[in-house]
């Protein structure tokens, strides 16, 4: 957890961010994209994805597509923050 609050790209709230590995660490290690989001959205994402998906080895595109769909309109904020900051 960061000591500085940030705007969560999913809910838009000013909260302390958690790091989310878009490609699950248990399957891919620490490689891949990391997105910072608040703890509530991070938890909601894992509930939406389902624990079973973390235990099965899907190709990376599966997790990337799921993340983009889950972000919905927040994906615009995700792109702007990732691209320009």
pTM, two decimal places: 0.73
Domains identified in the chain, total number? 1
Q: Please give the chain's pLDDT, 85 residues, in tens.
A: 557 999 998 898 999 999 988 888 878 888 778 889 999 999 999 888 887 677 777 888 888 888 888 887 655 555 555 554 4
**pLDDT in the model for residue 33:** 81
Which run of H or E residues covers position 21? Answer: strand 17-21
Residue 30's domain spans which residues?
A: 6-84
**Is the residue at 41 inside a domain?**
yes
Phi, then psi, of 17 in degrees rounded to 5 = -85, 155
**Is the residue at 1 inside a domain?**
no
**Is the residue at 51 inside a domain?**
yes
């Amino acid at each position: 957890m960061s000591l500085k609050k940030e705007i969560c790209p999913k809910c838009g709230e000013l909260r302390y961010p958690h790091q989310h590995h878009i490609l699950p660490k248990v399957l891919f290690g620490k490689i891949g994209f990391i997105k910072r989001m608040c703890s509530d959205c991070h938890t909601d994402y894992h509930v939406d994805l389902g624990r079973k998906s973390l235990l099965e080895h899907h190709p990376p595109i599966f997790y990337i597509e799921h993340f983009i769909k889950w972000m919905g309109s927040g994906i615009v904020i995700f792109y702007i923050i990732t691209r320009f900051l």
